[in-house]
Homo-oligomer: A and B are copies of this chain.
Amino acid sequence: MTQIKNDLFIKACKREPIERTPIWVMRQAGRYLPEYRAVRDKYDFITMCKTPELAAEVTIQPIDLIGVDAAIIFSDILVIPEAMGMKLEMIESKGPKLYNPIRNVDHVNSLKSVDPYRELKYVLDAVSLTKKQLNGRVPLIGFAGAPWTLMTYMVEGSGSKNFSEIKKFIYNQPDAAHKLLDLLADIVANYLSAKIESGANAVQIFDTWGGILSPDDFAQFSLQYITKVISKIKRSSEPVIVFAKGVHYKLDDLASCGADVIGLDWTMNLKNVRNMIGSNVALQGNLDPTILYSPKEKILNEALKVLESFGKGNGHIFNLGHGILPDVNPDHLKYLVEVVKKESVRFH
């Protein structure tokens, strides 16, 4: 096993003492980087996901170019619905589309079972290859969508404004919904276990649509399945991060789901959350991604606010509160990374 040279990210996940706060950013292997766009111009998004050499290349770009403290494998959460038999398309500037969305229990029953070593072998190959090419410089993060978020896409067929279809589904066909969520929880757990087996040093579960639910519905339709996923992941000491966007309620319950780290969006106050739950878990976040549109002086001030909000101590991984936007100037992200590396020393 390769020793990781910069293991600040892993240590922060475990709330171990370190000399500064590590930083990575969601969607760091993405369109804001000209070097990523150069690859993307030649291949479509899904081909990039399915070609380990290309996935490894863009995964490593922000390590070299931006200087982040962790790599996250280039992929998409919707590879799971695709592996279950749904046709997936990525429509430029509009987002993903899953054809023939799920609307009843028969459709749920017709979905294929997924063995990650078979249907998703290309992701595992990308993880192994990236791990090899990283050569221990920084840790590698694997990820998956939370069952709730995957089901939302599978029922809506795409992103949504009002989420009418998924809400009709869970309120009128709760048995079918729970059946699908349970199936997804098993698949996600196996998939994340396989990523760890293939070399991922940590895994993140994205619950992008957790925040559209009321607190009771979140507990029933999302949190219990995240908890199930985490309990079933085969791992030695690889940390698990849960990022549930917009879930500002029941944070104490969320902190008890078995995750080592809770990711927070930019509407949360790190200090309050740390006071509430920070002794049990590490926190990741939470700069508003649009701050990167600002002049550098404001980026500095806002980064300091995030560091000060968490305060002195261990267990903080700096990140954006959501994915970096495609039209951000990469120099601004590079500046943020420098600022966090330099200024966070005095918080440790």
B293–A171 CB distance below 8 A: yes
State in angstroms the CA–CA spacing of A168 and B292 once bound together: 9
Quick one: CB contact mask for A158-192 with B, threshold 8 Å, 1 for yes?
01011110011001100000000000000000000
State in angstroms the CA–CA spacing of A327 and B164 once bound together: 9
Q: Is A256 an interface residue (CB 8 A)?
A: no
Known pairs A216-B305, A288-B214, A325-B162; A267 contacts B249 (CB<8 A): yes
Quick one: CB contact mask for A265-298 with B, threshold 8 Å, 1 for yes?
0111100000000000000000010110111001
- Residues of B within 8 Å of A267, CB to CB, are 211, 213-215, 246, 248-249
A290–B163 CB distance below 8 A: yes
State in angstroms the CA–CA spacing of A217 and B216 once bound together: 29
A interface secondary structure, majority = loop
Which single member of B159, B164, B248, B249 contacts A290 (CB below 8 Å)? B164
- Residues of B within 8 Å of A168, CB to CB, are 290, 293
Known pairs A162-B325, A248-B249, A249-B248; A215 contacts B293 (CB<8 A): no
Interface, chain A (partner B; CB < 8 A): 159, 161-164, 167-168, 171-172, 211, 213-217, 246, 248-249, 266-269, 288, 290-291, 293-295, 298, 305, 325, 327
Task: Give me 22 A-to-B residue pairs in the complex whose CB atoms sit less than 8 angstroms apart, sorted by A's number.
Answer: A159-B161, A162-B290, A163-B290, A164-B290, A164-B293, A164-B325, A167-B290, A167-B291, A171-B290, A171-B293, A171-B294, A172-B293, A172-B294, A172-B295, A211-B267, A214-B266, A214-B288, A215-B267, A216-B305, A246-B267, A248-B267, A249-B268
